[in-house]
Amino acid sequence: MIGLVMFAVCLLLLLVGFPVAFTFGGAAVIFGLFAEGQSIFAMMPHRIWSVMNNTILMAIPLFIFMGIVLQKSKLAERLLESMGFLFGEIRGGIAISTVLVGALLAASTGVVGASVVAMGVISLPVMLKYNYDKQLATGSICAAGTLGQIIPPSIVLIILGDVFQEPVGDLFKAAFWPGLSLVLFYVIYILVVAYIKKDIAPPIRLDDSHGTKKQQIFTALRAIVPPLVLIVLVLGSILFGIATPTESSAIGGVGSIILAAMYKQLSVRMVWDSALETTKITAMVFAILVGATAFSMVFTYTGGDYIVEDFMMGLPGEKWGFLILSMLLIMALGFFIDFVEISYIVVPILAPIAANLGINPVWYAILVAMNLQTSFLTPPFGFSLFYLKGVAPPEVRTMHIYRGVLPFIVIQVLVLGILVVYPEIFGLSSTYSPF
């Protein structure tokens, strides 16, 4: 039971506010010394060395760099303004524009915090100015910002590819249609709500200060096409087997610099700041990974994985029981801890059990990724909620944001349920499902 006690202690320390990497690493050292002594850590240097030599994980800093450069080149501002011209005159048009821009940012930057902040700064004041319901406005921004967790190139999918030991390209292919389906469900929800409640998201009359309708459409396309080309180059090279995810991430980094030059935002200072932020985020991710590696090693050596496996394998309904309980567990943990910790601590325990039950690892990884997406939305610790609250005007209260995300969480759970039972709807072969 030492491993389970260690896991409970780590959760308690995280809730108190201890740093994640030091919590898992420190707990592993203390409980490991207590259980086995110094000999348990004899192989730890080799584990850390293998992590640092993992070519799959090299894609993480490169995709992060690409996202930060595009953020600093004001890509979000251009896309939101352009989409506002195209959809603003229909009911819920600005909210729909926000969701579509969130999808484009997810496929080009994948940085959730930057996407939520950018859309909160730009589109939220516009929606409030035109009397949009505060809950719909904040909910659509938070939901759109989290699309980067499931739409490739997603950092979550890269991490899960390493955990499940599956090609990241296969995960990208499998996540493509579920991600777009989630966007479609969001748009349908906004259209339906705006149609039923006429005053919740009124249409906006655009003036002629930005030129004629044709000129506005041309301006919008000029802002949308370049990032779309970058998305096609990055994702297309992976999906068609032309390049590995690591190679395509390098293409994305170079492409983001070219786009910044096209938008006249490129400077030595901007590249330096982007590289510095990339280093900080990457160091945080890999510090968590090293701590998680120590934790999982001690957890395995003390037999904690056997206890969990015996419990999961003995559930009623076998595969159904395992899937339902594991999804509920990941969703519950998402209320309190981040996706990186869940991916490196919980998922490595569940992945071998799923393999023993004959569950397709790629399909199960996509279920986990979509489930992890809700961790950014679920109160009280959803990071997207904090990001938006930090830039929202004073009249937008925390309860507006909490209530606003609830329908979108329901939509995510609905899509997750459909993906469990009918994977072929999302372009996945029925062989992905074990039922």
d(CA 232, CA 149): 18
d(CA 375, CA 165): 23
pLDDT at 429: 60
Tell me the per-residue pLDDT of 305-340, one tens digit each, with 9 for 90 and over: 777 778 777 777 778 888 888 888 888 887 777 777
Q: What is the pTM of this model?
A: 0.82
pLDDT at 78: 76
Q: What would the mean pLDDT of 354-380 be, rounded to a whole number?
A: 85
- DSSP per-residue string spanning 149-216: GTSSS-HHHHHHHHHHT--HHHHHHHHHHHHHHHHHHHHHHHHHHHHHSTTTS------STT--HHHH
CB 308 within 8 A of CB 42: no
In terms of average pLDDT, the best of 46-55, 128-137, 207-216, 371-380 is 128-137
Give percent of the chain with pLDDT exceeding 70.
93
Tell me the per-residue pLDDT of 34-64, one tens digit each, with 9 for 90 and over: 877 777 777 788 877 877 777 778 888 888 8
Length of the chain: 435
Task: Answer with the residue of higher pLDDT: 317 or 274.
Answer: 274
Give percent of the chain with pLDDT exceeding 90.
7
- Residue 248 pLDDT grade (very low, low, confident, very high; cuts 50, 70, 90): confident
pLDDT at 197: 86
